[in-house]
Structure 1
Amino acid sequence: MVPTEHELHGFFRSYSRKLAEDYAATRPRVLEDPGTAGDQGEESWASLLRDWLPEGYSVVTKGRILGASGDASPQVDVIVLKPNYPKFLKGHKYYFLEGVAAAFECKLTLKPGHLEKVMKNAKLIAGLQPKPSGSPQKEIMAPLVYGVLAHSYSWSADKDSVVTRITEKIHELGQQAIEPRELPELVCIADLAGWRLAHCSIARYTVGDWVEPDPSIRDAAIELIKKEYAGFPQKNHRTSSYVQLLIEKPHSEYTTQYYPEHINSNTPTESWERFTPIGAFIAALYDKLAYRDPGLLNISEYFKAVHVPASSGGVNQAKGKLQWPRSVISDATWATSWDKGPEWQEVFF
């Protein structure tokens, strides 16, 4: 059994304090010299990533991502290069898309307009790569992990209200995307919360006797769901104790990595008292990188085993899922078996 307090929790608290100290030292300089202050904020996050990512992953600042077509992204603050990135090319500020593992915008103080820019840039980065085919993972997921990292935030309200407002803003902007691969995957505000994107290749509805013991009512509930999604191919699975409906209906969802009670806790004995947005972010980043680099799966699973709070999910606060047409996954891919392998998972966290 994992002890309540693990060394990882203490490490993440230490890094959280370091970012808070950097923010307190840098913020007074913003009006005097916003460029240098911003550079210092970027370096804080770059240093965190250098310390926490495996040997071989390089972290650079201020560069553009270059697609095979020659088109380039806007300038990105922090870029994580894959271990196989050519050493000679690391000194150039145009980084090849296929060699980039992750990229992040960095803000000292996150504002609503920053989220809008991040959503636009996520679409531009996805557009640098022709959409691949062959599996839901390839067709749904973005070519690299992209998001925004901030020391703090500009919203003036109590923390619970701010988290709700940011969640709603992210969901609202996400609805403007045409495909799931156009969305940013991670948002982290070091002194507040995090947000992570998950994709579902199918929709699964289960009505069991533990919810409704009457079989006829269970069947009626499934029939209502069938009618709601009449335009999507469906599969039924029935047992004596439950009815399950699987629908070829892709959707995505942002979950909030947040424990309202975690602020100013000095006695880390409960799950929420061990939570830090930094810890949740690093664990989520490993999750997402592991889809592209299976060699990271063991560390990703270790974070879950020691229970880094909110590492494997979060609280769903968004009003509804981001729904996609069935066509975001190709007909050829839909024709393959749903249990073909890891690239045909139901959920990609």
Structure 2
Amino acid sequence: MKKHDFFNLMSAVKESLNSAYLRIRARSKEDPGTAGDQAEEDWAEILRDWLPATYRIVTKGRILFADGSSSPQVDVLVLTPSYPRGLGNEKYVFAGGVVAAFECKLTLRSSDIKRAFLTASAIKRKAPVRLGTLYDELNRPPIFGLLSHSHDLSQGDRDWDRLYKAIQKCAEECPEHPRELLDVVCVADTATISVGKHVLVGKGLSKEEKEELTEIGQESAVAALYVVQDEMKWNSERDHSGAILAGLIYELTHRMAFVDPTIRPWADHLSGLGFYGGIGIPLYCSEDVLSDSVRRHLKDEGASAEAWSKWSPSLP
């Protein structure tokens, strides 16, 4: 099948970002502050160009919570379409208007990954508790991501090996609940790695899901899975160029659409343009991370197969 133009466009964006990386890195030692600012602007521009147009993208802000406290400075913020213009130039951004927040790096290091996980958890813990559906209980706003032009982790047989292992290690150590996990990591020359949750609780489980529970020796579980989207030519008959940034835009749009139904037709369209995601290793936790009422619902009625349902067994 011919590769869709969306992936060709993302491939061109990736090449432009790589050229910027080489140019900025050459000057980073003499002026690291400016290099960092340029890295943020590069990513902000990509999000402005490729996320739904009604969402405003700003740089360098702190998220202001309802209790008066604030987050550490965040490099790039995505604001709701309804966020008041009168607040648009303030560097303290009200939490209720923040859809997504990103740390941006020129060259990613392992310490940056752990810091991003800790920041994501701290910010998500400040969000109001949401109960009543699988989606609400396994997700807390804002979407939180880590974006980088490149990384300095040692390479394995696959470019993303060490990167994935560092993410997996932090996912095991940092959050107290799967809703606090870092949502997405994108290293433009390596891979997009995003988390999804899968619920193995209640009636209606498939044969494969029951076998999975048998393998881990549990009667039920909630799994969080970081999945890799890369451009390795494991299939010589397919051109995977553009897949990394295409995967990032798809993942962010899909997550945003769970809250904003007006962009679901666009998210559905993106989902049909190509293949997103790949392999990963599940992290399992007890069904106790869900409320009693949600667990009763799953055991009485099961999950939902409807598109965009907050009771879907597979969620962002």
TM-score, scaled to structure 1 = 0.82
Equivalent residue, structure 1, for 2:222:
250
Structure 1 residue 164 and structure 2 residue 138: aligned? no
- Cα gap change, 1:226/1:190 in structure 2, threshold over 3 Å: closer, same or farther? closer
Distance in 2 (CA, whole Å) between partners of 1:303 and 1:207 is: 28
Equivalent residue, structure 1, for 2:214:
225
Look up the SS of the partner of 1:256 in the other structure: strand
The one-letter code matched in structure 1 to 2:226 is Y
Bigger Cα displacement from structure 2, 15-24 vs 292-301: 292-301
| Contact 2:227 2:278 survives alignment (8 Å) | yes
Q: Deviations over 1:169-218 (max 9, x none)?
A: 1111101221011111110011111101001122545169xxxxxxxxxx
| Contact 2:3 2:239 survives alignment (8 Å) | no
- Cα gap change, 1:344/1:109 in structure 2, threshold over 3 Å: closer, same or farther? same
Percent of matched pairs sharing the same residue:
32
Larger Rg: 1
1:28 CA displacement: 1.2
Distance in 2 (CA, whole Å) between partners of 1:270 and 1:104 is: 35
| Contact 1:5 1:269 survives alignment (8 Å) | no
Q: Deviations over 1:137-175 (max 9, x none)?
A: 1110121211100001112335x4441111111111101
State which of 269, 272, 278 in structure 2 corresponds to 1:314.
Answer: 278
Distance in 2 (CA, whole Å) between partners of 1:292 and 1:269 is: 38
| Contact 1:142 1:183 survives alignment (8 Å) | no
Distance in 2 (CA, whole Å) between partners of 1:269 and 1:157 is: 22
| Contact 1:78 1:106 survives alignment (8 Å) | yes
Equivalent residue, structure 1, for 2:124:
126
Look up the SS of the partner of 1:343 in the other structure: coil
Structure 1 residue 300 and structure 2 residue 267: aligned? yes
Distance in 2 (CA, whole Å) between partners of 1:271 and 1:303 is: 19
Equivalent residue, structure 2, for 1:75:
73
Distance in 2 (CA, whole Å) between partners of 1:162 and 1:272 is: 17
Look up the SS of the partner of 1:132 in the other structure: coil
1:227 CA displacement: 9.7
Q: Deviations over 1:301-342 (max 9, x none)?
A: 2122221x32xx2222x3xx2222222110012222334661
Equivalent residue, structure 2, for 1:6:
4
Equivalent residue, structure 1, for 2:195:
197
Distance in 1 (CA, whole Å) between partners of 2:250 and 2:142 is: 16
1:117 CA displacement: 0.3
State which of 248, 251, 266 in structure 2 corresponds to 1:284.
Answer: 251
| Contact 1:122 1:183 survives alignment (8 Å) | yes
Q: Deviations over 1:22-73 (max 9, x none)?
A: 1111111111111111000100000011111222200000101122112211
Structure 1: stretches of 5+ with no match in the other structure: 209-220, 231-246, 263-267
The one-letter code matched in structure 2 to 1:134 is G
| Contact 2:102 2:145 survives alignment (8 Å) | yes
Equivalent residue, structure 1, for 2:149:
151
Q: Flag as ranges the 4+ runs of structure 1 deviating above 6 A.
A: none
Equivalent residue, structure 1, for 2:21:
23
1:270 CA displacement: 4.3
Equivalent residue, structure 2, for 1:212:
none
Distance in 1 (CA, whole Å) between partners of 2:2 and 2:272 is: 12
Distance in 2 (CA, whole Å) between partners of 1:181 and 1:292 is: 15
| Contact 1:146 1:186 survives alignment (8 Å) | yes
Look up the SS of the partner of 1:151 in the other structure: strand
Structure 1 residue 325 and structure 2 residue 297: aligned? no
Q: How many residues align?
A: 306
Look up the SS of the partner of 2:252 in the other structure: helix
| Contact 1:72 1:128 survives alignment (8 Å) | no
Structure 2: stretches of 5+ with no match in the other structure: none
Distance in 2 (CA, whole Å) between partners of 1:227 and 1:62 is: 43
- Cα gap change, 1:104/1:227 in structure 2, threshold over 3 Å: closer, same or farther? closer
